[in-house]
Amino acid sequence: MKLNRRAFLGTASATAVSLAAPMVFAAGHGKSHVVVVGGGAGGATAARYIAQDSQGEINVTLIEPSRAYYTCFFSNLYLGGFRDISSLAHSYGTIASGGVNVVHDWAVGVDRDAKTVALAGGGSVPYDKLILSPGIDFVDGAVEGWDLSAQNAMPHAYKAGSQTELLRAQVLAMPQGGTFAMVAPPNPFRCPPGPYERVSMVAHLLKETNPTAKILIADPKETFSKQGLFEEGWNKHYAGMVERVGPDFGGANVSVDPDAMTISIDGEVTKVDVCNVIPAMKAGRIAELAGVTDGNWAPVSAADMSSKADADIYVLGDSSAQGDMPKSGFSANSQAKVCANAVRGALTGSTIFPAKFSNTCWSLINTNDGVKVGATYEATDEKIAKVDGFVSSTGETDAMRQATYEESVGWYAGITSDMFG
């Protein structure tokens, strides 16, 4: 089976080369080709593990437009002044040294019949197995009055980097006693505690620089992740600063005017100084272009993260509709390892071990006040299903909260070293 298959693939790839030049590299030599689109927590991890564990048996290409990747996780800590922006940046040098062919370009199309990925810069890359891990894009028209052309006036800062720097600069430039507004996203979205950790970090920054400033959150959701912990922390550290308008009071009925810098909540218009619009999200566009999405997300099989639309395509992380796991960097990294093991097994006959998934999300509320929520998951026929979980408690000791924060710093070092080497 294995030999026949590989012989067949070799022939097919050779044909593809002759028909569809230019290729970024020539297929052939009997080696299998895995192409990974997106170099974040899912894609970088998958590329690195497949290259490392197959010991040269599989050619791995990683397509990622950015030369420096800024992690979305911990970018709120930069907003709060706990990290430098440079500490969030990671290069692909070690991944390349580990044998991954790193291509800095945009993937702009997938030809599932020819099994090639088209690049914005021209040319295409052939694959036997394609792993899509493109993160999120925003749903058009999700917040009335806002589109990507308004992202300078009203940043989303939900893809880290220049947007995050812009948002921090805007917070620091707020007039004394000014208002920071956030339009929070509906479920499901990347990093469920993220908007509320961001509120905490902005509050921390404002308390130092602008203590009479206010934070206004328009939220379409009844409840949110770690709500009790965040609300306890806001009362304790930032009393009177944070106001959240939930759906009962029109938090889902929001529009913005980026020119006038106003936000309308249930018809009531407020002039604000900073407006952080976090729109509804969907799978990164390449997943849609590949035809593997159903609605906003790409359904996958829980056992190996393979697309339900195409057995040779896998979708990791935020873009996937997998079941119970939250959309987080930790989840994407966990899914990548299960996927890497399955892809390697499918292409080389190595042992495919049973899927095991886990996630933990740490959030920082104030200096040395860290909290966490986590769970383990298993693959069922239907979905990735939660097995077990825990969450920090309200009223924990200061020492415990500090230990949790220090643990999160350790986790950041761990996961970035796992992703980027």
Partner 1 sequence: MVSLGIRRDLFAMVLLGSALVSGAPLEAQGLGDPDRGAEVFKQCTACHQIGDGAVNRIGPHLNMVFGRQAGGLENFRYSESMTRAGVDGIMWTVETLDIYLENPKSLVSKTRMNFRGLDRAQDRADVMAYLREFSQDPSDIPEAMPTATGTDHDLDPAILAIQGDPEYGEYLASECKTCHQANGAADGIPAITQWPVEDFVVAMHAYKRKLRPHPIMQMMARRLSDEEIAALAAYFEDLE
Q: What is the contact surface with partner 1 in residues (CB under 8 A)?
A: 49, 53, 330, 333-334, 337, 341, 351, 353, 356, 358, 360, 372, 374-376, 387-390, 399-400, 402-403, 406-411, 413-415, 417-418
Query: Closest Cα partner for 411 from 338, 353, 358?
Result: 358
Q: Among positive and negative, which fits the CA dihedral 206, 208, 213, 214?
A: positive
**φ, ψ for residue 25 (rounded to 5)?**
-145, 160
- Taking the complex as a whole, the smallest distance from the CB of residue 228 to partner 1 amounts, in Å, to 16
* Residue whose CB is less far from partner 1, 293 or 360: 360
The separation between the first and the last C-alpha atoms of the chain, rounded to the nearest angstrom, is 34
Which residue's CB is nearer to partner 1, number 193 or number 220?
A: 193
- Cβ proximity to partner 1: between 147 and 378 the closer is 378
Query: Residue by residue, what is the 3-state secondary structure of the chain?
Result: CHHHHHHHHHHHHHHHHHHCCCECCCCCCCCEEEEEECCCCCHHHHHHHHHHHHCCCEEEEEECCCCEEECCCCHHHHHHCCCCHHHHEEECHHHHHCCCEEECCCEEEEECCCCEEEECCCCEEECCEEEECCCEEECCCCCECCCHHHCCCCCCCCCCCHHHHHHHHHHHCCCCCCEEEEECCCCCCECCCHHHHHHHHHHHHHHHHCCCCEEEEECCCCCCCCHHHHHHHHHHHCCCCEEEECHHHCCCCEEEECCCCEEEECCEEEECCEEEECCCEEECHHHHHCCCCECCEEEECCCCCEECCCCCEEECHHHEECECCCECHHHHHHHHHHHHHHHHHHHHCCCCCCCEEEEEEEEEEECCEEEEEEEEEEECCCCEEEEEEEECCCCCCHHHHHHHHHHHHHHHHHHHHHHHC
* Closer to partner 1 by Cβ: residue 61 or 408: 408
CA distances from 245 to 68, 182, 199, 208, 261 (A): 37, 10, 13, 25, 18
* C-beta closer to partner 1: residue 219 or 324: 324
Q: How many C-beta atoms surround the C-beta of residue 372 within 10 A?
A: 19
**Measured from the CB of residue 251, what is the shortest distance to partner 1 in angstroms?**
32
CB distance 51 to 99 below 8 Å: yes
Task: Kindly tell me which of 109 and 414 has the beta carbon lying closer to partner 1.
Answer: 414
Taking a C-beta distance cutoff of 8 angstroms, is the pair 301, 332 a contact? no
User: Which lies closer to partner 1 via its Cβ, residue 348 or residue 402?
Assistant: 402
Q: How far is the CB of 392 from partner 1 (least distance, A)?
A: 8
Report the nearest approach of partner 1 to the CB of residue 410 (Å). 3
Which residue's CB is nearer to partner 1, number 327 or number 337? 337
C-beta closer to partner 1: residue 293 or 359 = 359
Nearer to partner 1, 117 or 340 (CB): 340
When the beta carbons of 13 and 306 are compared against partner 1, the nearer one is: 306
